[in-house]
Structure 1
């Protein structure tokens, strides 16, 4: 089964912040590579949505997967709807757990 990917409305802000942060210290090529790496990791959730660590203590059903060495994708799998809802994408030690918890309400 192929799952549809949906994004919390604030994920666009997450990605913009990541791009600007990397752009400032490593340049546009590095920022583009990191965003492509994140995009590729999100795409894998279409076919393997139940991977990652289940973190019910943060919010019911929340899972997290690392991307590279510094990014984390936090999401929930909705099997009945065949959807993966991306709650947060963080980078460089940002508090993905807090963002996920506040966005899951």
Structure 2
């Protein structure tokens, strides 16, 4: 059964942070600004597409009840997605997206406790 995918407000910040990280990484590897921007934008579009596909298999990933009740996470292409489900409304709510070597478990725990760092 396909679930509707909704995004928490924090997702926009997460995606901006990922874009900045990817752009800066490309620059540090010697890419020019235009190429770095294109690479970061392409990767961000892939992450955005992955968000939309989460609803096709809503029970995927690992339950993370050690962080919050009903919380799940799944990794797709170095992006780590945290989400929860509303079974009644068939809704999957994406709560956070992290990338690469970020300490996603600690950062998600801080969010769950209401101590989101920006």
Matches within 5 A, 1:1-105: 1-26=1-26, 27-68=36-77, 70-104=78-112
Secondary structure of the structure 2 residue equivalent to 1:93? coil
The number of aligned residues is 104
Task: From the two aligned structures, give the one with the greater helix fraction.
Answer: 2
Distance 1:85 1:102, change over 3 A: farther
Which structure is larger by alpha-carbon Rg, 1 or 2?
Answer: 2
**TM-score, normalization: structure 2?**
0.78
Structure 1 segments of 4 or more deviating over 4 A? Answer: none
CA RMSD of aligned residues (A): 1.6
Structure 2 SS opposite 1:45 = helix
Structure 2 runs not aligned, ≥5 long? 27-35, 114-118
Greater mean deviation of Cα atoms: 32-41 or 10-19:
32-41
- Cα deviation per residue 1:32-72 (whole Å; 9 max; x = unaligned)? 2221221222122222111011111111111111121x320
- Contact 2:5–2:92 at 8 Å: present in 1 too? yes
Is contact 1:46–1:84 with CA below 8 Å preserved after alignment? yes
- Greater mean alpha carbon deviation, residues 39-48 or residues 93-102: 93-102
Q: Which secondary structure does the structure 2 equivalent of 1:41 belong to?
A: helix
Shift of 1:88: 0.6
SS in 2 for 1:77: strand
Q: Distance in 1 between matches of 2:74 and 2:46?
A: 13
